[in-house]
Homo-oligomer: A and B are copies of this chain.
Amino acid sequence: MTMKPLSLILLILAITIPTSLTYAGQMPDRNHPLRTQAGSGSHRIPGVSCLSWRLAVETDNIRDWDLVPSSCEGYVGHYMLGHQYRKDCNAAAWAAYDYAKGLTLKKDGKDVWIFDIGDTSLSNLPYYARPDNAFGAKEFNETTFKEWQLEGKAPAVPAILDLYKRLLKLGFKIVFISGRSESLRFITVYNMKKVGYHTWEKLILKQTSESGTTAMVYKSKERKELEEAGYRILGNMGDQWSDLLGTHVGNRTFKVPNPMFYVA
């Protein structure tokens, strides 16, 4: 195996200062060293670089995509484990807080901010960084993903946890709406509290009866019920456009970056 100087430098960096390349102090699986084609934008979709692919995903131009293009696995891995994903999360949180602090709340217990859970509040990055998942470049495995969720070890997305704390201080009531199954309530609550989400108005999980509905339909219905119960949805934040589109989306929506998978 021959390596170019840049590859060697990257490898040395990855070995010697791993925490600077990892997420929230979580070590990615050592069996999955990042590939050296990463960041160079190799092409699978003709004429579309990985950087442009990611922007197209983030702006909802590319929809219903199945897998991260295999040529972009390394790029997405570097993005997610490097500084830029964190910075982009920080910017989303900054924009949200900048908006939130300008609002005059009624403080009647009905001023609501909605957060999605998976890859918005809690990070599944340790799972997706595993070689069997390859940052979304390998087919989604429902069984291993559920096993990962049942471990209750997902770290917080730091920028969102920080925003959550700030919103509580401003007087918002927090509602979490997640596509996770109701059967995972115990471990979800455990995991959320463990990493710092210690209080909420509601934590809504998907009922078995709704397992056939899309996230957009399910979340729209839950938001409708919140509004019918008198809650005012002032902010709504998620990593999927299906968290933010549909009906009763709230006064402002905020997209958290996620180039690893698509949920309709």
* Residue with the greatest number of chain B CB neighbours at <10 A, chosen from A51, A88, A91, A253: A91
Distance between Cα atoms of A88 and B257 in the complex (Å)? 17
Q: Mark A33-73, 1 if CB is under 8 A from B, else 0.
A: 00000000000011111011101101111110000000000
> Which residue from B52, B60, B257 sits with its C-beta under 8 Å from A55?
B257
A254-B61 contact in complex given A87-B49, A87-B51, C-beta closer than 8 Å: yes
* Binary B-proximity of A77-95 (CB < 8 A = 1, otherwise 0): 0000000100110111011
Interface residues of A (CB under 8 A from B): 45-49, 51-53, 55-56, 58-63, 84, 87-88, 90-92, 94-96, 252-255, 257
Q: Which of B61, B92, B252 contacts A92 (CB 8 A)?
A: B61
CB of B47 within 8 A of CB of A255, answer: no
CB distance from A156 to the nearest CB of B (A): 18
A257: chain B residues at CB < 8 Å are 55, 59
